[in-house]
Chains A and B, each alone.
Chain A
Amino acid sequence: MTSLHLDWGILFEESPTGDGPYWQLLLTGLKWTLATAMSGWLIAVAVGAVVGVIRTVPSRWLSLLGDAYVEVFRNIPFLVQLFFWFFVLPELLPEAAGSWMKQSMPRPEFFTAAVGLGLFTAARVAEQVKSGIQSLPRGQRNAGLAMGLTLTQTYRYVILPMAFRIVIPPLTSEFMNTFKNSAVALAIGLTELTFQMKQMVEYSNQVIITILATTVLYMVLAMAVNRLMAWIEHKSRVPGLIAGGGK
């Protein structure tokens, strides 16, 4: 049980992977976790906002399309989705595109993870956006339309600004989830934080230190997200309204 002896010096020893010392190994992982989660999050917010909105507009086809998206992406395990994008999609695409994905696409595991994570999280963002919009008093939409704004303008200037304020708290936890879920991408070979943690455990045999160090890094990320979202919430607070602004 030598691993119980906490020798933090291990972090400064060279790792046999050629990545430099072990702390650098973990840092590379942190970098990929950050890159994957952040790009995934941007995609999730963009796609999720659109899907959430079309589920609330008075068009049967659009809302069915939005519902279908959410059902598919929410009910299939994220790992399966990743495998689909990574292994199956190139086979389904036209010859040229497929072989480009397999052979020449730069950093395929990163792009697949970011886009896959984005599309998966978008379904969850869409749920929040939809319920945020629906929690607004219905009269707001009528008031916008009654002044002569088009439906699009009513969404843009009246409904969405309030809906986004309402969804900031639930979106905070979805944002944190993108960091946790990005670890799934180790299954397609992305050298993110959890992947690096496994490597370090294997090579250094320092299980406890490795896991503790990784835990600290994930917690730092979570706290940073939390602070960022709290800051956004504070900045967008509406004078005279109680937090959240819903009725």
Chain B
Amino acid sequence: MIEINNVSKWYGEFQVLTDCTTKVQKGEVVVVCGPSGSGKSTLIKCVNGLEPFQAGTITVEGTSVGDPKTNLPKLRSKVGMVFQNFELFPHLSITENLCLAQEKVLGRGHEESMEKGLKLLDRVGLKAQAQKFPGQLSGGQQQRVAIARALAMDPIAMLFDEPTSALDPEMVNEVLDVMVQLAKEGMTMMCVTHEMGFARKVANRVIFMDRGAIVEDAAKEDFFGQPRSERAQTFLSKILHH
């Protein structure tokens, strides 16, 4: 469903991505990990065209992201994205956050959007918070709303960029639980995360990035069994024993 072929990207002289190639099949959960600054966020933002890239191709269900003729807003409306800092819109209530893109992008009526939004809010366990504003929720609650907001668009795939890194430890699990449930329901997911417990539970493959390159791209069993690269081993031992 998502195919990344030989993608390279530069910020001026600085090469952030070097010849990255991988794919995510329909229904697959792929976890991306690697040290800070290795280009994970950049890669995932290239998938929905939030970041341009200078070489290679990315296609999402056959649509080329880098093609100037591609209708990017339309493509993005089919790919949900969840950010490290939640990025709910602070001036809009929770229900308004859930309805905005359904109405403005998909052209759904207010009642239909509302119904859909509330159903998803219920699913992430936050129906009672519907009338509040983002600033009145905890980080974990905000992130669950953000996931519901993305799901309200009926995405064909979901991208997660370190969805639990900005959370207090006691809130990590409430968000991971939602993600695990989503994975089990067959959602296609590309997740930048260091939560190896999550990876063990639901990932099909694990990608390890370092200095802008995909160093390792292996089935979960192989990755945790015996990662081939030394850098991946060092990285794993560091995050597993912190």
Residues of A within 8 A of B (CB): 137, 139-140, 142-150, 153, 157-158, 161-162, 165, 238-241, 245
Q: Are A245 and B50 in contact (CB under 8 A)?
A: no
Q: Are B87 and A150 in contact (CB under 8 A)?
A: no
Q: Are B101 and A140 in contact (CB under 8 A)?
A: no
- Between A and B, 9 residue pairs with Cβ closer than 8 Å are A140-B87, A143-B88, A147-B100, A147-B150, A148-B76, A149-B104, A162-B90, A240-B135, A245-B90
Q: Are A148 and B77 in contact (CB under 8 A)?
A: yes
Q: Closest Cβ of chain B: how far from A201's Cβ, in Å?
A: 50
**Taking CB as reference atom, which chain B residue is nearest A164?**
B91
Given A147-B77, A148-B73, A148-B153, are A239 and B136 neighbors across the interface (CB < 8 Å)? yes
Chain B residues positioned under 8 Å from A144 (CB to CB) = 89
Q: Closest Cβ of chain B: how far from A133's Cβ, in Å?
A: 14
Chain B residues positioned under 8 Å from A240 (CB to CB) = 90, 132-137
**B42-90 CB contacts (< 8 Å) to partner A:** 45, 48, 50, 73-74, 76-81, 83-85, 87-90
Chain A residues positioned under 8 Å from B239 (CB to CB) = none
**Taking CB as reference atom, which chain B residue is nearest A158?**
B89
- With an 8 Å Cβ cutoff, the count of chain B residues facing the other chain is 33
Q: Closest Cβ of chain B: how far from A198's Cβ, in Å?
A: 47
Q: Are A145 and B76 in contact (CB under 8 A)?
A: yes
Q: Are B83 and A142 in contact (CB under 8 A)?
A: yes
Given A238-B135, A239-B132, are A140 and B89 neighbors across the interface (CB < 8 Å)? yes
Given A148-B105, A238-B90, are A142 and B50 neighbors across the interface (CB < 8 Å)? yes
The total number of A-B Cβ pairs within 8 Å is 83
The one of B73, B90, B104, B133 in contact with A157, judged by C-beta atoms closer than 8 angstroms, is B104
Q: Is the interface of A mostly helix, strand, loop or mixed?
A: helix
**4 residue pairs, one from A and one from B, having the closest CB atoms:** A240-B135, A148-B77, A143-B87, A240-B136
B149: Cβ under 8 A from any A Cβ:
yes
Chain A residues positioned under 8 Å from B48 (CB to CB) = 146
A238–B90 alpha-carbon span in the complex (Å): 7
**Taking CB as reference atom, which chain A residue is nearest B88?**
A143
A150–B78 alpha-carbon span in the complex (Å): 14
Chain B residues positioned under 8 Å from A139 (CB to CB) = 83-85, 87
Chain A residues positioned under 8 Å from B88 (CB to CB) = 143
**Taking CB as reference atom, which chain B residue is nearest A140?**
B87
Q: Are B45 and A142 in contact (CB under 8 A)?
A: yes
Q: Are A162 and B91 in contact (CB under 8 A)?
A: yes
**Taking CB as reference atom, which chain A residue is nearest B159?**
A146
Apart from A139-B85, A162-B89, what 14 extra A-B contacts exist at CB < 8 Å?
A140-B87, A142-B50, A142-B81, A143-B81, A146-B76, A146-B81, A147-B76, A150-B73, A165-B91, A238-B135, A240-B90, A240-B132, A240-B135, A241-B135
Q: Are B105 and A147 in contact (CB under 8 A)?
A: yes
Q: Closest Cβ of chain A: how far from B165's Cβ, in Å?
A: 13
Chain A residues positioned under 8 Å from B133 (CB to CB) = 238-241
Chain B residues positioned under 8 Å from A137 (CB to CB) = 85, 87
Contact with A along B19-31 (1 / 0, CB 8 A): 0000000000000
Chain A residues positioned under 8 Å from B77 (CB to CB) = 147-148
Q: Are A145 and B87 in contact (CB under 8 A)?
A: no
